[in-house]
Structure 1
Amino acid sequence: MAKKPGNYSDGIRINTSGGRDGDGGSPNEGGAGSGGNAGAATLYVGMGISVSGAYSNGITVLAAGGNGGIALEDKDDVRYAGGNGGNGGAVVVHASGDITASGAGAMGILINSSGGSVNTSSYYSQLRTAGSAGTVTSSAPAT
């Protein structure tokens, strides 16, 4: 069994994220780009994990899409509609060992897939979409 003490200390942590796109000129000049999509994350754990400490997690897997860029008009620093947010990635976690976590806010397994945000303004109305979350699948023994 792997043991890890300490606050804000995860036993296993995986992050996959899409990049934030750069800011651009006004929409007439091409505007800003969209955020990148997060990659997929798959984790197989065949041993036990024990963590202790505030906000420590046995397993943390995050797959976040990147935020869209901001389109700017240089002369007045006016913000226009930015780029779309990227999509979160699919996450799969299979754990066959016991996973324990103790401490304030501690969790055995934390899985999150989220889409990136849209950077926009009310000055220039143009439909943009935030990224969508990916699928999340997990299996662990019931205790």
Structure 2
Amino acid sequence: MARQLQPREVLLHTLAHVFLEELSLDAGYPASSLRERVYSDEGMAGLLVYTATADAAGSLGGLVAQSETDRLAAVLHSAVERSAWCTQDPVCIESVAGGSGGLNLAACHACVLLPEVSCEKQNTLLDRAVLIGTPEEPDAGFFSGLVVAR
């Protein structure tokens, strides 16, 4: 029997993407040298971001520095704040059934999609609105309280 997709998985996967993109900006890694792994099951949720390269980009040590509590909170806040705006809005935030197999909602290359090598789910099951809400329902997003009024 196939396992049903839970909304928490879309939330975590989208959060992993915006978080990974923010880490690439702050730590100096190209996004294509970082990978994500999402852990989601009843009673638990987690994200793993790791380097997958053996070249100079994989030895900068920037990810370790970003894991300090104060820095990690700032990166997370900045990632969510940055996800509140996309150059493709309002088309992006109002999108339904986009991407491969129609498995994305509010997600495009300008805001949430990562290089294919970075994503364990081939850039599917993403929805930026689950993080920040929509123009019609700005409080519907899980992190809408972190986002400065748009």
TM-score bucket (shorter structure): under 0.3
Higher helix content, 1 or 2: 2
Higher strand content, 1 or 2: 1
Normalising by structure 1, what TM-score?
0.23
